[in-house]
Structure 1
Amino acid sequence: MDPRLTLVVISSCIALCLGCTKELSVGELFYGSVIETKSSPSAKHCQILCTYELRCAIFTFSNFKCELKRDDSGAIRAVSSSIISGRSLFSCAAEKKEACFRDEYSQVAFKDKPYQTVRTTNEKECRSKCDNDPLCSFYTFYKSSAQCELKFWNLLPTAEVLYSSTGNLVSGYSSKLKLNINAKYNCLSIQSKGYLLENDYFDYTYSGAAFTVEHCQTLCNLNPFCRVYAYRTNGHCRLKLIKDSHTQGAKLDYVISGLRQTDCKPNFVGKKTTATT
């Protein structure tokens, strides 16, 4: 078995054994091996990032930094109240809760460059602009200039965060981002096993790990500019925007390719499979 998948199984088993734990622990540091440190505007958002990173069992949030950790030894140390820890909500999947990003963050700006800037009268109108724009994933509204910046992320919902003490801006996420843990796709999957879309695999805009072909497909669905994905059975996922989605394919036994499901909600599939080389 691929070592990465072994870690995922172990982390998931730990989470399931601990049960569904939603509570956040203020002033406590959970010990564990750090997988990745992401930018995050709140501890609640950090918990969602941990939930959708299959290797993550616990997390620690402080000063807009979210540490995702893969093992939960149970060791806890009391620290300052600015540090908040918690556990993945992966084991809460049976409740079929949707992880929505409805909170707004005052005095927080998302540093990612906007693809469009428009003028709106208030943050509510700015959010509405983002909700109704298929490309928009999150936004920042500047009260002093009435500027609404519409932005998107390439993969999972994590935006670079910049703190502002001026208090004249508000940021938030699009209400379109509702991800179901362990939910199945609500439409027919379009995949071509053993086929690689011609001239695409080695020129993709994203290349990274995915635990299943469904996981890779979800990454494509989450990216507003992705039209095609290719998943290799050794656990690699590549995404690319192409103009012609009906390009011819070349035969490769170890690749699964497919088209973006534009009419489907981007549901996360948490099923783990063993990758083969």
Structure 2
Amino acid sequence: MNIGETLKFIRKNKKQTQREISKGYLDRTTYSRIENDERSVRINDLQGVLNKMSVNVHEFFTFAKFDLEQQQFKELFDACKEQPEHERLKKQLLTYYKKLAAKPTKNLREHSNQLAIKNYFHHYWKEIPEINASDSEMVYRVLAKKNYYFQYDYILLANMIPYFSEQQASILIKRAIPIKDEEQRDEITKNNAFNALLNLIHVRIYEGEWLIVKKYVKLAKRQPGFLKSYKHRLDLYYFDSLFTYLLTKDPKALEKTQLFIKVTEDIGDKNKADAMKEEVALLSQNLGENAAAKAVNRKPTNLIKEG
């Protein structure tokens, strides 16, 4: 729904009249034109109308979709993640991917969508190629020029950070974290910023880069917004305990790691919990083979990916 449709939808469900909603801010005729998309609405007037409706602005914008195409992409992407073998869904996403791949020039959103598809679905579908060096260099050049990141910048960073060198990743994380004006950012933007940091920690664990892991774990723990999210906090402390176990072989650290896996399973994310169990078994085996300090030639199994 657009702004006018959303205002009408909320007003009718609250059983309020146009006159009641517009009183004190707009005349009823002007408000009627806004609901019918015959006139734009000023920010101050919109805030006043929402106050009359007792509707939070964030709730309002969950109904009002300005970018229907992107919303449709996200829904299709998520559906394919849930059912990668579903032929109709797969065909739809492949058609969209091929359309993007054929475009000679793409905006940041289109680059983000194309690389999100490559990053996730090349594991499942032979039609989707892996991320290559050209992809990672292009994204690095784009992000390295920026000092202020917006939503699609963070989505690109979250998906592509496993493919950057440590020097490149360090440069970009310094631009991305702490999130500038964090209190004014939407949840999707913040989630992707934190996911970028978690993905970087995850990759460095597999590479056995313990000092670097420790540095990024400390950075994450210094972010107040990061620790407010139980999901991000759970992932962070899982990585922290796993890294501590691999470094020290302390059985208490292993017990703590297994506890975080159990919590993940108990809250209903069984697929992720199974991937975590597989991960601990793999890395423990490498530790037993005296290879924990060496790079493991396998990508992490439960990277946090965004579409």
For normalisation by structure 1, the TM-score amounts to 0.28
More helix per residue: 2
Larger radius of gyration: 2
For normalisation by structure 2, the TM-score amounts to 0.26
Structure having greater relative contact order (Cα 8 Å, sep ≥ 6): 1
More strand per residue: 1
